[in-house]
Each structure stands twice: as C-alpha cells, then as structure tokens.
Amino acid sequence: MRKEEETEMRKRFLTLFIAVFTGLLFLAVGILSANVVTPPPDEVLIQNLGYKKDKKGPVLLTHKRHVDTYNVTCTDCHHDYKDGKNMWNEGMPVKKCSACHDPLKKQGKVMKLNSSYHRNCKSCHKEICKTDKSKHAPYKKCTKCHQKKS
C-alpha cells in the first residue's frame, strides 16, 4: 500500500506542478504581449461623427509626417488630464477624442469636440506659419484640411 500512496502523491505533485507551470506560462505571455507597443498609423481619418449635421468633410491627419517631419510630440495632441496635469505618456492607450469631448455640448471645462480639434490643430498651424512663414500649415480655409463630403 505504501508504494501505491507514493505513486498517487507523485501524480498529484506532477499535476500541481503542470498547473502552476501552465499558469506562469500564460502570465509571462500576457506580460510580454502587454508591453508590445503597436506603432501608430501613418494616417488617421478624423470623421465628423456624432454631430447633428456633418457641415464639413473628414480630415486626413498625416500622423507619420507630423511626427517625423514636423517633430510633433505625442503629448502635443494626446492627453488625459488629472487635476490640470496631462498624465498621458507614450505607450498608454489612445482613446478617441470623442470619448471625452462631446460633439454637441461643452461639459464643464472639457471643450466640445469641434472646438478641441480646432484649438489644438489651428493654433499649432498658426504658430508655425508665424515663425517660418510656411504655407504647409493651413489654418484659415476649411477646405485646406477638410475633404469634400461624400
């Protein structure tokens, strides 16, 4: 009977070892895959969704060009404010702007979506045009950024 008990204990130990090892393997894969940063898209099509009426067409943001050519940093556009401080860091998930900026109404200190886009994009473009007299940063005419409505 003693030999049968030893065999049974070995089977239990082996089963427990395999279960723990499998759990650790899944945990390691989860941690490693969570740290993989997906590269940003080359272009982002900003749609006019959520508005009562689509007055202008979408805007094609040349994300890669803004980063590589114009040296725009991630936190120039992406943010997550807590107590007046931007807590967003590169590598954190990027939420859609409309997750916080309502297209129809201002909510407390949070601007409407349209105002938020225009303030961020147009003010940066305007500043560039002042400093280097560039024509590549449009900010006066809607059609320079907005595509035709489909």
pTM: 0.65
Residues 13 and 69 in one domain: no
Tens of pLDDT, residues 79-117? 998 988 999 988 888 888 999 999 999 999 899 998 999
**What is the domain count for the chain?**
2
Q: What angle do CA 104, 150, 114 make, to 5 degrees?
A: 25
- The amino acid at 70: Y
Residue 82 to residue 65: CA distance in whole angstroms: 29
Residues 4 and 60 in one domain: no
Q: Which domain holds residue 22?
A: 1-36
Give the pLDDT confidence score for residue 104 in this predicted structure.
92
Give the pLDDT confidence score for residue 56 in this predicted structure.
86
Question: Is 150 inside any structural domain?
Answer: no
Give the pLDDT confidence score for residue 36 in this predicted structure.
63
In this structure, the chain runs to a length of 150
Question: Is 149 inside any structural domain?
Answer: no
Residues 64 and 133 in one domain: yes
Backbone φ/ψ region at 71: left (φ over 0), alpha (ψ -120 to 50), beta: left
Residues 57 and 1 in one domain: no
Residues 61 and 113 in one domain: yes
Residues 31 and 87 in one domain: no
The answer to whether the beta carbons of residues 49 and 103 sit under 8 Å apart is: yes
Read out DSSP for 13-74? HHHHHHHHHHHHHHHHHHHHHHTPPPPPPS-EEE---SSSS--S--EEE-HHHHHHTT---H
Tens of pLDDT, residues 6-55? 888 888 999 999 999 999 888 888 777 766 667 788 999 998 888 888 78
The DSSP symbol for 100 reads: T
